[in-house]
Amino acid sequence: MAFQKAFRPKLFCLWLIPLAALLLASCATLAFRPSQAKVEKLLALVDSGKVKGFKGLGEAPFIFDGEILLLQADVAALWDNLGRANLGLQKAQTVSIVRTDGDTWRIFSPAMEVRTFFGKYLDKATYLVTLEAPEGRYYLILGKVVQGYPRIQGFKGPVR
């Protein structure tokens, strides 16, 4: 009897440690939803022209308007050009932040390769952010957080 009482806390700890490890491991797989604050922080980074300096943030494969960019050099050139364009995205108002669905690809293009891009390269925890600016509407496809920012996987705009 004394052996069972002495052994019971050890069994409890042996059971508790794997459970705690499982719970902590599952935290990384929780669905990401970009907040308004995260979107604003990202827009400031895009306006500053510094997206390219954050590894993994805006990398290939990437969809720009209806074009699929598969080469990292093309995506890097895109970010250079967008930075020089001074889009003023910080002034844009966020209209919506919604999870991508089976029809989101149509916003970028009706082409089947765009549909394939959405099916092949975007995971389930990807969001479409719609922005309204004086020059038109912008769309961003945002994924999991990379270095404190949502990963940009697609960009379109301005659309009138």
pLDDT class of 9 with cuts at 50, 70, 90:
low
Residue 88 and residue 149 in one domain: yes
Tally the domains of the chain. Answer: 2
Mean pLDDT over residues 132-144, rounded?
A: 95
Mean pLDDT over residues 68-83, rounded?
A: 93
Residue 8 and residue 55 in one domain: no
Q: Which residue has the tokens 């690809």?
A: 105
Query: What is the token pair recorded at 37?
Result: 């604050």
Q: What is the pTM of this model?
A: 0.79
CB-CB contact of 20 with 127 (8 Å) = no
Residue 12 and residue 69 in one domain: no
Cα–Cα nearest to 78, from 92, 94, 61 = 61
pLDDT class of 11 with cuts at 50, 70, 90:
low
What pLDDT, on a 0 to 100 scale, did the predictor assign at position 98?
96
Residue 13 and residue 52 in one domain: no
Q: For residue 71, which phi and psi values (nearest 5 degrees)?
A: -95, 135
Residue 4 and residue 36 in one domain: no
Q: Is the pLDDT of residue 72 over 60?
A: yes
Residue 139 and residue 149 in one domain: yes
pLDDT class of 84 with cuts at 50, 70, 90:
confident
CB-CB contact of 151 with 57 (8 Å) = yes
